Each structure stands twice: as C-alpha cells, then as structure tokens.
Chain A
Amino acid sequence: MFRLENATIAYNGTKVLENVSLRIRKGERVALVGRSGAGKSTLLKLLFAQRRVDTAIIPQELGLVRPLSLFHNVYMGRLNANPTWYNLINLIRPRRREVETVRQVAERLELHQDKLFTPVGQLSGGQQQRTAVARAIHQNGRAVLGDEPVSSVDGRQSRIVLENINAAHDTVVLTMHDVDLAIAYTNRIVGVQNGQIVFDESTADLSAHDLEFLYH
C-alpha cells in the first residue's frame, strides 16, 4: 500500500530523513518507534502524501477546529461524502442522521453525548485527542496514520482507543513512544534513529527490552 524508496527529506539544511526505504502492505499494523526528533512524524507525513485518497491521518497537533463542536469536527471526516449544500446546512443545523452516526463513533471512544455540541476548544486534552481519532475512524478509510494517537490519554483509555483504531482500518501505521503498547497492538515494529530505519521486525517474540537501544 505504501512504498518509500531512498527518500531523503531535509529542513533548512538539516537532514530529517536519509535514504529511507519502507514498504507497507495492506493488512499490516505498523508501529514507528524511536526518540523524539528521530524523524517519525516526517515519515508519517510522507506516507500520507502518497495515498491521500483512502487514508486518514491523526497529526500530532490534531488539526481540530477549536470553535466548532465535537460533532462538527468528527463530521469533517466525511466532508467528501456529501454535496456542498448538504455540508453547509449541516454546519448551521446538524442533521439528525449525521448526529446519530457521529454519536455512535464517539461513544465507542468514551466521548459522552453530553459533549457532542461542546466547542472542541473547551474539551480536555484527552477528549480532544479522542475527537481527532473519532474523526479518522468516521472517515472510513482503508488506512490510518496516527502520530502519537494516545499520548494524552491514560492507560485504560489508550487500550480502548487502539482497539478501535485497529477494528476500523485494514492498515495501520502509528508512531508511539510507549513501547509496550506498540508491541501489544501492532504486528510490526519499525525503529527510527537519526533519520534512518535501524530496526524492522515483526512483533512476535519481541519484548520491550529489545528496543531499549533506540532510546539511548
């Protein structure tokens, strides 16, 4: 599904990624791990640029529209599914059918319906992050790319979020700093260090200890 060959990206003269080659097949669940600044986010953005059509992305900044409600932000995941006039009407007067669909997605991520029409800017960090995940799930794409999708949520909710992400998509590529969660919820770990891929193994028989070297 995704293929990068010898990709090199530089910002202002510093190389962020150097000669990176990566192939991700349909059905794979991949975790990108490594220290901050290793190049994981950039790698993810490159993958997104390759296959925009049926891929959802959850960037680290989340990309939410703060004055709009939770409902509207999740609805934006399917902005391409309806004609313009329908979208505009929905902006001013949310259609019942859409509200119901969004409510179901939100419930699965423990976002209560009380909050459905709260402006997203007033929600907590964890709620905002789950809204962004809900948007990606609602988009109903084949693949999802998530940049630290559970960084603001606690242990129990992280598992719920990751389960939902896996359930809703064929192909999953996530960056994560929590190595245990990475091993538990994906089937392939790709380790990134200084802009290069230094590790690429399936998670079978892998333990957190094996990945410690990436963080030193």
Chain B
Amino acid sequence: MVRTSLLFLAIALGCLAFADLEVTTVNPWQEMGRLGLGLLTPDFFATDRLLESLLNTLAFALLGVALANVFGFALALLFHYRIVRMGCAFVRAIHELFWALIFLQIFGLHPLTGILAIGIPFAGIVAKVYAEILEEMDPVPLQVLPAGSGVVSSFFYARIPQAWAHLKTYGLYRLECALRSSAILGFIGLPTLGFHLESAFSQGHYSEVSALLILFYIMIGTIRWWMRSWLIPIYLLGAAYLLSGTHVEIYFDTVLRFVTQDIVPHPIRVAHSLDWATLTHLYDWAKSLFVNQAWPGIINTLLVTMISLVASGILTLLFFPLISPKFFGRWGQSLGHVFLVVLRSTPEYILAYIGLQLLGPSMLPAILALALHNGAIIGHLIGRYTEPLALRPDSPHGIDLYAYEILPRVYPQFLAFLFYRWEVILRETAILGILGIHTLGFFVDSAFADIRFDRALLLIFITAMLNMLVDGVSRRIRAGLRLNTTPEET
C-alpha cells in the first residue's frame, strides 16, 4: 500500500512539472475579497427567479432519477448478460454535461434534454449498484419456495424485501447526486441553478450568488426530511407539471438529421461510395482529429486527474480529523461538519468556475476545485469511519494520536475510497474543459460550437474509453491491494 501511494505521489509530482499552473488575473486577491464579502451578505430578494430556478433544479433531478431508477432496476435484472454490463459501463462513462450537449442539438432547450442527460448515465450507475445489492442477498429463501411459485411472486417475496433498505439508501444518495448534476446543467442553458449563478457571478452580484448557494445547500442538506416514499408520486407530478410549462418544440426533422447525417464522420458523409479513397480520407480525418485535439486533450485530462487525485488525498488526510470525535469536541465537530458539507455539496464545476473567474484560465483552479470537493467527500467518510475505533486508555493526543494510532488504521479504507473516486475525478476533469482549460471537454465543446457534431461525438467516445480504462485500472489496483468499498458510501 505504501509503495502504491508513493508511486502515485511520484506520478503527480511528475505531472506537476508539465502542468500549466499560472495565475493570470491581474489582482485575484481583490476580487476574492469582494467575493468573500458577498458570500457573507446573502441577498435573498435579488433574483425574482430564485425560487423558480431552485424548483426547476429539483424537478429535473426528480424526473431524471425516476427514469434512472425504473430503467436501472430493469437492467439490473439483466445484468448477467455481458452486453448489458458493457452498455451500462459505456453509458455511465459519459458525463451528464456531455449527454446534455448532445441532446441540446436534438431537442433544444426542451426539458427532455435535462431529464435524459441525468436519467441515462444514472441508469447505468444504478443498474450496476442494484445488481450488486441483489447479488449479495441470501439465496436460501428463494430455494425453499414451493415449485411453481412464479418468477414475479418469488422475486417480490424472497429477494426484494431483503434488499429494500439498501436500495432506499442508495436511491436517496442518487437523488443528492442528481441535484448537483441538475444544478450544473444550468451552465449550458437549462433553467436551473447554474444558469442564474453564472449570470449573477459574471456581473459581480456576489450576494446573489451567496443566496443561491445557501438555498441550494439547504435543499440538499434537508433531503432526509422532505423526501418520503409516499410523497414521491406527488413530487413527480409536480415536477412534470412545472416543466410542461416550457414552450419548446421538438422538430422531428432535426432529430432525424442529427442521427443520420450530422454525427456521421465527414469523409463518409460526402463520399459517393465506400472505396479506397474514402477510407484514406477517413483515416486522415481521424488522424488529424486525434493528433490535434484528442491527444492533447487526453494528456491534459490525465495531467489534471493525476495531480487532483493526489491533492484530494492530501486534503482528505487534513480534513477528516475535523469531524472526528477522536480529535475535536462537539463544537469543533459541528463546525468541521458544516465546512465539509458545504464543500461536498458544491458541484466541482461551480467550484472550478469560481476559481477560474478569480485566478484566470489555467489548470490551477480545476485542481483546487477537484481536490477540495473530493477531499471533503472522502474526508467525511473517513471521519465517520474513525468514530467506532477503539483506542487504549493511555493513547496519545494530537499529532501523535493522528500519526501512530489513527492514520494506520484508516489508511486502507482511505485508499479504497480514493481509488474509487479516481474514475469520477477523471470524468469531472474532462468536462471542466468546457470552462476553458484544454482537457477533452474543451475540444468537445469547441466541436459542438463549430457545429461539427461528428468530431464531437468521436471525442466523447474517446473520453468514455479513457474513463473505462481508468475504471479498470482502479479496480485492478483495489483488488490487488485487497480494498473494499460499499457502493452506498461513495
């Protein structure tokens, strides 16, 4: 374990040498000061659309997760088929924002764009997790049922009740993730939180930004209070009603053209026949795309990912004592808790956006955003993990306690969570390119802006492959080090 840690640390330090980390804004501290002032003075009456944007965020999240749960559950039952597993892996390797960019071209700003952008990748994730939960359930009740009990009855009596508690816990966690995804969909035009946040921020209305963020945190933080099983149908109907008010039409011609023409690689589209010339043309096209866009995108994505991974790890180790009863008393833990909740509830995209405005376009704000967000997530999990640890009565305090007693005990679990997040960090790094740094998302966004959908889709495909590769490596490392994570915690 120590060797692996040192290896990754070395890789990150190596990447640091190649990374572009300069601060390019003229006077970042002044702007940061203004931002700080604004955050401390939230203005809840600024946006007339404050409530509406929050409700929209909620509506997209609810409908998206509902879709994901229905299809994800159905797919989980088919998870013994290889093609289902691979399909789900592919679909969840593509970030919600990329899906949204695709659907934006097909459906425009119709609510379906947002709902499918969340629903499809989430269905892939949910299918995998639900399949794992069902698999771990006790098989004996199913084996003792009388012959001829019927597949459906058997399923609902012998398999579901055992899994129910786990499914509910995970479903709630997915809703939380959906709220975050829904919020950042606003950055590309949908009427959610991100939309108003971006306009307020770019105009310097930091008090408005503060109000938006605080209400968002409250919405996520109180999820267990307002999310009850029996209220789900009401919420879904409300969400559908709210979103049906948007008057955007879907033109079937656009859909058809997108699928049959726009995404077909240019050389094939203009070719008269599939001959040798066309193939050479296709090869040149692909090679040019790869050399000029995909490869730099991949390199930059990997650079930022590796540095962010290690940075997240370092911050985790600094953050987790803040909520641990082994280090702080009641008040300290509460403050630490609020601090970590704020950091982990804020989508990385928003953190990166703020960072980019303050520090200028470079990899630095992206790395900071990813490190802070993930450090808070894993720090929270490890902090909770320290609670039941039994220490001897004469154990040391402070730094000694940390270094000798606590850290060795939590290190394996810490690595497990960190490697699990690796794939997520990569996915996020890719889309942060939309904000301006030259990761894969930058080239994808440019391709969409240039109306070169064939390039965009190929780049998205490459991103998905990279994601699946890292996921595979991560899994192998974790298996090699014998680390386990439960899906509900990450």
CB A148 to nearest CB in B, in angstroms, measures: 15
Please state if A79 and B161 are interface contacts (CB–CB under 8 Å): no
Give the CA-CA distance A19 to B143 in the complex, in Å: 26
Please state if B141 and A65 are interface contacts (CB–CB under 8 Å): yes
A78 / chain B contacts, CB cutoff of 8 Å:
146
Please state if A52 and B147 are interface contacts (CB–CB under 8 Å): yes
Q: Is B480 interfacial (CB-CB < 8 Å)? A: no
Q: Which of B147, B156, B158 contacts A53 (CB 8 A)?
A: B147
State which residues 146-164 of B face A: CB under 8 Å.
146-150, 152-154, 156-158, 161-162, 164
CB A80 to nearest CB in B, in angstroms, measures: 4
Which of A66-74, A110-118, A157-165, A198-206 contacts its partner?
Answer: A66-74
B162 / chain A contacts, CB cutoff of 8 Å:
65-67
Please state if A67 and B157 are interface contacts (CB–CB under 8 Å): no
B154 / chain A contacts, CB cutoff of 8 Å:
79
Give the CA-CA distance A58 to B146 in the complex, in Å: 12
Q: Is A104 interfacial (CB-CB < 8 Å)? A: no
Contact with B along A52-93 (1 / 0, CB 8 A): 110011110111111110001000111110001001100100
Give the CA-CA distance A36 to B465 in the complex, in Å: 53
How many interface residues does chain B have, given as a range?
20 to 34
Please state if A139 and B146 are interface contacts (CB–CB under 8 Å): yes
B145 / chain A contacts, CB cutoff of 8 Å:
76, 79-80
Q: Is A141 interfacial (CB-CB < 8 Å)? A: yes
Q: Is B399 interfacial (CB-CB < 8 Å)? A: no
Interface centre among A57, A64, A79, A88 (most CB of B within 10 A): A79
Closest to A76 in B: B157
Give the CA-CA distance A53 to B144 in the complex, in Å: 11
Give the CA-CA distance A91 to B153 in the complex, in Å: 9
Please state if A67 and B150 are interface contacts (CB–CB under 8 Å): no
Please state if A91 and B147 are interface contacts (CB–CB under 8 Å): no
A77 / chain B contacts, CB cutoff of 8 Å:
146
Give the CA-CA distance A84 to B149 in the complex, in Å: 8
Please state if B147 and A59 are interface contacts (CB–CB under 8 Å): no
Q: Is B274 interfacial (CB-CB < 8 Å)? A: no
Q: Is B17 interfacial (CB-CB < 8 Å)? A: no
Give the CA-CA distance A59 to B142 in the complex, in Å: 12
Please state if A79 and B157 are interface contacts (CB–CB under 8 Å): yes
DSSP class of B's interface residues: helix, strand, loop or mixed? helix
Contacts A61-B140, A79-B157, A87-B157 given: A67-B147 contact, CB under 8 Å?
Answer: no
Interface centre among B145, B146, B153, B161 (most CB of A within 10 A): B146
CB A95 to nearest CB in B, in angstroms, measures: 14
Give the CA-CA distance A57 to B141 in the complex, in Å: 11
Contacts A59-B140, A67-B162 given: A80-B152 contact, CB under 8 Å?
Answer: no
Q: Which of A58, A63, A88 contacts B153 (CB 8 A)?
A: A88
Contacts A63-B140, A141-B146 given: A79-B153 contact, CB under 8 Å?
Answer: yes
CB A92 to nearest CB in B, in angstroms, measures: 10
For chain A, the count of residues having a C-beta within 8 Å of the partner chain is 27
Closest to B157 in A: A76
Contacts A63-B141, A67-B165 given: A80-B147 contact, CB under 8 Å?
Answer: yes
Q: Which of B140, B141, B144, B148 contacts A80 (CB 8 A)?
A: B148
Please state if B140 and A79 are interface contacts (CB–CB under 8 Å): no
Please state if A64 and B141 are interface contacts (CB–CB under 8 Å): yes
CB A69 to nearest CB in B, in angstroms, measures: 10
Please state if B146 and A84 are interface contacts (CB–CB under 8 Å): no
B143 / chain A contacts, CB cutoff of 8 Å:
59, 63
CB B157 to nearest CB in A, in angstroms, measures: 5
Please state if A68 and B147 are interface contacts (CB–CB under 8 Å): no
Q: Which of A56, A58, A79 contacts B149 (CB 8 A)?
A: A79
B164 / chain A contacts, CB cutoff of 8 Å:
67
A139 / chain B contacts, CB cutoff of 8 Å:
146
Give the CA-CA distance A58 to B144 in the complex, in Å: 8
Give the CA-CA distance A53 to B149 in the complex, in Å: 11
Give the CA-CA distance A174 to B147 in the complex, in Å: 20
Give the CA-CA distance A61 to B143 in the complex, in Å: 11
CB A168 to nearest CB in B, in angstroms, measures: 14
CB B311 to nearest CB in A, in angstroms, measures: 43
Please state if B153 and A87 are interface contacts (CB–CB under 8 Å): yes
Closest to B158 in A: A65
Please state if A72 and B165 are interface contacts (CB–CB under 8 Å): no
Contact with B along A34-59 (1 / 0, CB 8 A): 00000000000000000011001111
Closest to A51 in B: B147
Give the CA-CA distance A58 to B153 in the complex, in Å: 20
A84 / chain B contacts, CB cutoff of 8 Å:
150, 152-153
A88 / chain B contacts, CB cutoff of 8 Å:
152-153, 156
Give the CA-CA distance A84 to B150 in the complex, in Å: 7
Q: 19 interchain pairs (CB within 8 A)? A: A52-B147, A56-B146, A61-B140, A63-B140, A65-B141, A67-B165, A76-B141, A76-B145, A76-B158, A77-B146, A78-B146, A79-B150, A79-B154, A80-B146, A84-B150, A87-B156, A87-B157, A91-B157, A135-B144
Q: Which 10 A-B pairs have the closest CB atoms?
A: A79-B149, A80-B148, A63-B140, A63-B144, A87-B153, A80-B149, A67-B161, A52-B147, A80-B146, A63-B141
Using A65-B157, A76-B158, A79-B145 as known contacts, list a sample of 4 further A-B pairs with CB atoms less than 8 Å apart, ordered by residue number in A: A67-B161, A84-B150, A87-B157, A91-B156
* Residues of A bordering B, CB below 8 Å: 52-53, 56-59, 61-68, 72, 76-80, 84, 87-88, 91, 135, 139, 141
* Residues of B bordering A, CB below 8 Å: 140-141, 143-150, 152-154, 156-158, 161-162, 164-165
